[in-house]
Amino acid sequence: MKPRNFRPYVRAVLFFTLASLAHAQSYPSKPLRLIVPYPPGGGTDIVARAVAQKVFENSSQPVVIENKPGASELIGTDALAKSAPDGYTMGLVTNTFSINETLQRKLPYKGIHDFIPVTMLVATPFAIVVHPSVPAQTLQELVALARSKPASLNYASLGPGSIHQMSMEWFKHLAKVDIVAIPYKGLAPALTAGIAGEVQVVITGLTAGMTHIKSGKLRALAVTTAKRTAAAPDIPTVAEVGFPDYDVMTWYGILLPAGTSPDIVAKLGTELTKALNAPEVKERFKTIGVETAPMSPTAFAEFMRSDIQSWARIVKLTGARPD
């Protein structure tokens, strides 16, 4: 049998490998786009703009923020899935991405397989806050009030399946209370409603809520992580006031569309980590109650798989529905 000539195949592989390396070395050579699946003014938007500004300084290319709110991150995340896998469009996601994997009956994309995790950006607890007119000075008092008047209190939700709603629904399940969800398109309008007294309860990231807590426009009753946060050490945790199984940390991370070159994934991860480790960025985030938490692409992918499993258990436990 005549031996096959593999030289054309070797040349083709070598050509594409060298082309990929050349592309990665020149990356980024034009402005980048960061899709944020929430409206301006909320915690995700604040974090996105802070990181984007630092990446711009490091790479000499601007990062354009594109807010695509709605449908519990599905609109923005679907836009990312359908973007060219060239490294110039990235997307910000939160725990809501993990929840959607289980809660949503039909996703507009093929789940996590349509994306490449790059890095976590930050992690922060939520705070359960109330309007000052609510006659509850502590979380225990809020529970007692809700139990005495079922369905008479309401809370601001960012829509079915959002991390905000699922965190409150899990708390309601453990506390055995009925507090009615009122949907809003983002945290900024939800906080506005809470400050105005349109809703009695809001569950907010400290990033967006700290200013209103300090000003007295909202009263913080508890933070949602198992341990108190250094940013607000006087606020007790949900766990320590009677619900030891409750522990919620919200995180923000960056994804790229599936098919993006591994070299570009690595380079973008390096740039983002450099930005997150900058002392001025760490200090800025510390003042608003969040901690930078960069991870390698591999570590972040593993974390996301674990997070999806954790929220799948909570979705089943609470009997949550997507509508």
d(CA 78, CA 257): 10
Domain map (residue ranges) of the chain: 30-123+250-318, 125-241
pLDDT in tens, 6-61: 344 444 434 443 344 445 568 999 999 999 999 898 888 889 999 998 988 888 78
Q: State the pTM of this model.
A: 0.84
Q: Which residues contact 277 (CB under 8 A, 6 or more apart)?
A: 292, 294
pLDDT of 2 > 70? The answer is no
**Average per-residue pLDDT in the chain?**
90
d(CA 127, CA 206): 6
d(CA 69, CA 71): 7
Residue 46's pLDDT is: 87
Say if CB 150 and CB 193 are below 8 A apart.
no
Residue 25's pLDDT is: 65
Residue type (1 letter), 71: A
Domain pair 30-123+250-318 / 125-241, same fold: yes
For domain 125-241, the CATH architecture is: 3-Layer(aba) Sandwich (3.40)
- Cα 114 to Cα 82, 240, 256, 311, distances in angstroms: 9, 39, 9, 19
Give the position of tokens 């300084």: 57
Bond preceding residue 31 cis, omega within 30 of 0? no
d(CA 278, CA 55): 10
Give the position of tokens 């890095």: 119
Which has the higher per-residue pLDDT, 139 or 23?
Answer: 139
Residue 9's pLDDT is: 41
Best CATH choice for the domain 30-123+250-318 from the list 2.60.120.370, 3.30.420.40, 3.40.190.150, 3.30.1490.100: 3.40.190.150
Which has the higher per-residue pLDDT, 8 or 234?
Answer: 234
Q: Look at residues 289, 261, 323, 297 and name the one whose alpha carbon lies nearest to residue 17.
A: 261
- For the chain, list the strands marked E by DSSP: 32-36, 63-67, 89-94, 115-130, 154-157, 180-183, 201-205, 219-223, 249-257, 291-292
- φ and ψ of 107, to 5 deg: -90, 150
pLDDT in tens, 264-288: 999 999 999 999 999 999 888 887 7
Residue 58's pLDDT is: 81
Q: What is the band of 245 on the pLDDT scale with cuts at 50, 70, 90? A: very high
Q: 148 exposed, middle or buried (CB, 10 Å; 0-12, 13-18, 19+)?
A: exposed
